[in-house]
Chains A and B, each alone.
Chain A
Amino acid sequence: MTSRSVQLSRRQDRRSRSATAAVDRPRHGWQKTTWIWVFLLPTVVLYGLYTIYPIIASYWYSLVEWNGFDSGQKFVGLSNYREVFADPLFWNSFKVTLLFMLLVVPARVLLTLLMAMILNSPKLPLIGVLRSAFFIPVVTTTAIIGVVMRFVLDPASGPVSSVLAKLGFGGVDFLGDQHLALPAAAVLYIWKFFGVTMIYWLAALQTIPYELYEAARIDGAGTWQLFRHITLPMLKPFLIIITVLTIEETFHNFDLMYTLTAGGPYFHTEIIEIYIYRWAFAAPIPQLGHASAAAVVFGLLVAIVGALQLWALYTGRRLRGEQR
């Protein structure tokens, strides 16, 4: 053994002794969690500034009359809420938001499940390419999709209109027609976020042991039976979570809807977020109190869905536990 290796060995001994002493030393609660809080601090501060503070502020603003430009905020109690509840256009936007959700959620959940099952097949070639292709719209900026789609669906010169004209259906105004605007926006929304729900399903499908399918096939089960008796029961916990997540996502659709229709024609696509924006920013003198009251009511709706989400999470875990 050389003198250098002896020195190294002693140094390692000392390190190991001091490490043992450190482990043996009793640590107080704050010492155990200090570093956790240090690392969490940026998130806590930013979340507090950009999420918690605006929520609390909007509760306050909903109780005052304020235009956002001057410093005078006049406390008016629940007057803004009374005005919001008395406004038929608020209830119209409430209806449009729920209707949009009803159009989007079933289609998005079921179609993505179907596609995920196809893309989960090990025999399918180019799976990576296909999965990426479905995910590309998700990573594209929503507002840009809205603007581009207005040109695509332009009834006078858009490509869709040209094709329809050749088929004898000229000039369909998808975004300007009161009956078509909301369904058209729903289809675009489903296409835009198709990839997200599909990824959820793909992750869920990959939790099903392949041996179960093999065993069932040996027992003579066909494709439908495999789906009916293995895939579907195994996916039930995920179905609840994915559905609730999709419902919640559907409530946040301002960018696409605003760029596509701005709430028109005649408020037929005015979701609550556009209603809030209209009062807060598009009014000649902004009415932040009224807008905040509408936002608080909308927040309560989202909170109900959030509670459903928690329930879904709990139920999902319970069902998975039962399956095991």
Chain B
Amino acid sequence: MTGMTRRSLLGASVLAVAGAAVGCSSSTDESGSTSGGGATGTLAWWDHFSSFKRLNDDWAKNQSSALKANVAHTYYDASKAPQAFQLAHQANKMPDIYSNVVGLPLSALVSGKWVHEITLPADVKSKLPKDAFTEGITQLDGKLYGFPMFSLRQSSTLVWVNKDHWGKAGLDPNNVPKDYPGFKDALGKLKGAGLQPLTLAIGADGGRIRDQIDDMAQTAGFPGYQGLQFTTGEYAYHHDAYVTVIEFLKELNDAKLIMPGSNNFGVVDARTRFASGAVGTFIDGIWCAGGSKALAPPIVDKLASGWVLAPTADVQPFCYRGRPSSGYFVSADSKNPDAAGKLLASFMSDEYQNGMIEAMDQPPLNLDLVASSKAIDAYKKGVDFCKANVFLMPQAIVKNPAQAKVDAYRKPVTPHVGNIVQGYLGGSISDLKAELKKLSDATTADRAQALQKAKAAGAKVSEDDYVFTDWKPGQDYEGAK
């Protein structure tokens, strides 16, 4: 038998590899031509909306026939989506439409060639609320780039309860206390009944508890959003309202009314405990019903909801949020922006909007459909609360769209409010007010450096853009557009 020498083996290997490479390249050419052909017939759609995964998969099939194109929907986990989008952008492989997880201001997305102008049919535009499109947020120089999906009237901080647990503790789940003393008493009764009273997502990066503290500070009387006072334009995280809210959580924690481990829970950790019935109460967003259903479907029938908590029963729990941000973009690389625009327009159909409501995630722009939908009562109650108590707030970027340049230069300020809550509840921080004052100063300094850089880059911006002396509580801000 003739043995194969090392050289002949190597030679054969080189030939095989070369053959494979040629084979691959020809196959690439073929697939390239296929996708080229598909460029006119294929529409790639990426998003990070977990509650809408099934809805969007079905909608992609539905629209494939309506648009006469192969609509391919891909879901990305929210934590992984930014990196996936970043890589796709660098490789010029962006999908035709994608959800807004990049986090850059619109002006940076336009200059970075991330987005394409969206063309919507007139009948679709007429269905959108009057505040849906905002210069600097969804459009630039009058051109529409971002498609808003969700209503501004929503909240991250509603009280969600397990009816079984509350029933066992002798509490009425349809009458969840709205003030701190009543809520604390209810949690005490749950504990007395041998049940875990409350969980919160305090851990991970602290992002969720930060949002919730911001909301609760508003119902506790803070006249602003994320530490920024509307009428003065100054940061005041050390305002009494923030101190009141955090001290209340500390009180609950010290009374052992918060589930052990919550200090280390991310959103999914806390929601999993609630959805599985391990804890009776959970402070979560309006999307809690949809998110919990995805984790443990039987929980849906046991859900009841309450309001954003306020220090006393006589306080109106008013909250303020900004104009709807962009939910979806059309990629600058899209070979078929017209079809992409039509796909986005289809999201405004009653059928899709109803699908969104039934998924019970963030409420859609058209809130009027909620009452007659198949969503559970607890979700409808949450939406009703938001319709009545969440108002449009003033925003510097609306007053002066050049503020987008300032936003692009802002840097993360750490520790933020969520971190401070974690530190205060865990015992790492003893002087809460001093720590909040440090945060106010650090945030002010960061804004100053961003303003300075934006001015140096030619933007006409000033600190006055943040001042809204005509703001009034309990109503939508209509002053600057």
User: Are A173 and B263 interface neighbours, CB within 8 A?
Assistant: yes
CB < 8 Å neighbour of B419 from A154, A157, A267:
A267
Given the complex of chains A and B, what is the CA–CA distance between A265 and B419 in angstroms? Answer: 8
B111: nearest chain-A partner, CB-CB: A70
Residues of B within 8 A of A286 (CB): 82, 103
A161: nearest chain-B partner, CB-CB: B260
User: Are A155 and B260 interface neighbours, CB within 8 A?
Assistant: yes
Residues of B within 8 A of A89 (CB): 414-415
Given the complex of chains A and B, what is the CA–CA distance between A89 and B419 in angstroms? Answer: 12
A158: nearest chain-B partner, CB-CB: B261
Q: In the complex, which residues 412-426 of chain B have their Cβ closer than 8 Å to any Cβ of chain A?
A: 412, 414-415, 419, 422-423, 426
Given the complex of chains A and B, what is the CA–CA distance between A150 and B204 in angstroms? Answer: 13
Most B CB contacts (10 A, CB to CB) among A38, A161, A178 go to A178
Given the complex of chains A and B, what is the CA–CA distance between A173 and B202 in angstroms? Answer: 14
User: Are B112 and A265 interface neighbours, CB within 8 A?
Assistant: no
Given the complex of chains A and B, what is the CA–CA distance between A219 and B325 in angstroms? Answer: 84
Q: Is B267 an interface residue (CB 8 A)?
A: no
* Min distance, Cβ A23 to any Cβ of chain B, angstroms: 15
Q: In the complex, which residues 400-414 of chain B have their Cβ closer than 8 Å to any Cβ of chain A?
A: 408, 410-412, 414
* Min distance, Cβ B269 to any Cβ of chain A, angstroms: 8
Given the complex of chains A and B, what is the CA–CA distance between A193 and B77 in angstroms? Answer: 30
B273: nearest chain-A partner, CB-CB: A156
User: Are B261 and A284 interface neighbours, CB within 8 A?
Assistant: no
Q: Is B441 an interface residue (CB 8 A)?
A: no
* Min distance, Cβ A55 to any Cβ of chain B, angstroms: 19
Given the complex of chains A and B, what is the CA–CA distance between A282 and B206 in angstroms? Answer: 11
Residues of B within 8 A of A177 (CB): 426
User: Are A265 and B422 interface neighbours, CB within 8 A?
Assistant: yes
* Min distance, Cβ A294 to any Cβ of chain B, angstroms: 13
User: Are B260 and A176 interface neighbours, CB within 8 A?
Assistant: yes
Contacts A67-B104, A265-B423, A287-B411 given; indicate if A154 touches B205 (C-beta within 8 A).
Answer: no
Given the complex of chains A and B, what is the CA–CA distance between A1 and B410 in angstroms? Answer: 93
Q: Is B428 an interface residue (CB 8 A)?
A: yes
Q: In the complex, which residues 168-220 of chain B have their Cβ closer than 8 Å to any Cβ of chain A?
A: 196, 203-206
Q: In the complex, which residues 269-291 of chain B have their Cβ closer than 8 Å to any Cβ of chain A?
A: 269, 273, 278-279
Q: Is A264 an interface residue (CB 8 A)?
A: yes
Contacts A262-B205, A265-B428, A281-B82 given; indicate if A69 touches B264 (C-beta within 8 A).
Answer: no
* Min distance, Cβ A49 to any Cβ of chain B, angstroms: 15
Interface size on A, residues (CB 8 A): 39
User: Are A279 and B196 interface neighbours, CB within 8 A?
Assistant: no
Q: Is B427 an interface residue (CB 8 A)?
A: yes
A263: nearest chain-B partner, CB-CB: B205
Q: In the complex, which residues 280-304 of chain A have their Cβ closer than 8 Å to any Cβ of chain B?
A: 281-287, 290
Q: Is B388 an interface residue (CB 8 A)?
A: no
Contacts A155-B260, A266-B428 given; indicate if A287 touches B423 (C-beta within 8 A).
Answer: no
User: Are B260 and A173 interface neighbours, CB within 8 A?
Assistant: yes
Q: Is A171 an interface residue (CB 8 A)?
A: yes
A275: nearest chain-B partner, CB-CB: B414
User: Are B203 and A262 interface neighbours, CB within 8 A?
Assistant: yes
Q: Is B108 an interface residue (CB 8 A)?
A: yes
Given the complex of chains A and B, what is the CA–CA distance between A228 and B319 in angstroms? Answer: 72
In this complex, the interface size class of chain B, counting residues with CB under 8 Å from chain A, is 35 or more
User: Are A266 and B205 interface neighbours, CB within 8 A?
Assistant: no
A67: nearest chain-B partner, CB-CB: B104
Q: In the complex, which residues 135-166 of chain A have their Cβ closer than 8 Å to any Cβ of chain B?
A: 150, 154-157, 161
CB < 8 Å neighbour of B263 from A35, A264, A284, A290:
A264
User: Are A266 and B261 interface neighbours, CB within 8 A?
Assistant: no
Q: Is B83 an interface residue (CB 8 A)?
A: yes
Q: Is B429 an interface residue (CB 8 A)?
A: yes
User: Are A281 and B83 interface neighbours, CB within 8 A?
Assistant: yes
Residues of A within 8 A of B112 (CB): 69-72
Q: Is A261 an interface residue (CB 8 A)?
A: yes
B204: nearest chain-A partner, CB-CB: A262
Given the complex of chains A and B, what is the CA–CA distance between A70 and B426 in angstroms? Answer: 39
A38: nearest chain-B partner, CB-CB: B10
Residues of B within 8 A of A264 (CB): 203-204, 206, 263-264, 422
Q: Is B102 an interface residue (CB 8 A)?
A: yes
User: Are A279 and B203 interface neighbours, CB within 8 A?
Assistant: no
CB < 8 Å neighbour of A265 from B108, B203, B269:
B203
* Min distance, Cβ B457 to any Cβ of chain A, angstroms: 10
Q: Is B114 an interface residue (CB 8 A)?
A: yes
CB < 8 Å neighbour of B415 from A72, A175, A262, A266:
A266
Q: Is B447 an interface residue (CB 8 A)?
A: no
User: Are A171 and B260 interface neighbours, CB within 8 A?
Assistant: yes
Q: Is B28 an interface residue (CB 8 A)?
A: no
Residues of A within 8 A of B426 (CB): 176-178, 265-266
Q: In the complex, which residues 423-438 of chain B have their Cβ closer than 8 Å to any Cβ of chain A?
A: 423, 426-429
B7: nearest chain-A partner, CB-CB: A35
User: Are A284 and B204 interface neighbours, CB within 8 A?
Assistant: no
* Min distance, Cβ B177 to any Cβ of chain A, angstroms: 23
User: Are B412 and A69 interface neighbours, CB within 8 A?
Assistant: no
* Min distance, Cβ B267 to any Cβ of chain A, angstroms: 12
A39: nearest chain-B partner, CB-CB: B10
Q: In the complex, which residues 245-293 of chain A have their Cβ closer than 8 Å to any Cβ of chain B?
A: 261-262, 264-268, 278-279, 281-287, 290
Q: Is A306 an interface residue (CB 8 A)?
A: no
Q: In the complex, which residues 215-264 of chain B have their Cβ closer than 8 Å to any Cβ of chain A?
A: 259-264
Most B CB contacts (10 A, CB to CB) among A71, A72, A161, A176 go to A176
User: Are B429 and A155 interface neighbours, CB within 8 A?
Assistant: no
Q: Is A316 an interface residue (CB 8 A)?
A: no
Residues of B within 8 A of A155 (CB): 260-261
Q: Is A183 an interface residue (CB 8 A)?
A: no
Residues of A within 8 A of B10 (CB): 35, 38
User: Are B419 and A176 interface neighbours, CB within 8 A?
Assistant: no
B269: nearest chain-A partner, CB-CB: A150
User: Are B104 and A266 interface neighbours, CB within 8 A?
Assistant: no
User: Are B260 and A69 interface neighbours, CB within 8 A?
Assistant: no
Residues of A within 8 A of B196 (CB): 156
User: Are B203 and A68 interface neighbours, CB within 8 A?
Assistant: no
User: Are A178 and B427 interface neighbours, CB within 8 A?
Assistant: yes
A268: nearest chain-B partner, CB-CB: B428
Residues of A within 8 A of B203 (CB): 176, 261-262, 264-265
Q: Is B266 an interface residue (CB 8 A)?
A: yes
User: Are B260 and A70 interface neighbours, CB within 8 A?
Assistant: no
Given the complex of chains A and B, what is the CA–CA distance between A290 and B413 in angstroms? Answer: 13
The 5 nearest A-B residue pairs measured at CB: A70-B112, A266-B423, A155-B260, A176-B264, A176-B263
Complex A-B: 16 CB contacts under 8 Å: A72-B112, A89-B415, A155-B260, A156-B260, A156-B279, A176-B426, A177-B426, A261-B203, A264-B422, A265-B423, A265-B426, A266-B422, A267-B415, A278-B414, A286-B82, A286-B103
What residues make up the interface of B, taking CB atoms closer than 8 Å to A? 10, 82-83, 86, 89, 102-104, 108, 111-112, 114, 196, 203-206, 259-264, 266, 269, 273, 278-279, 408, 410-412, 414-415, 419, 422-423, 426-429
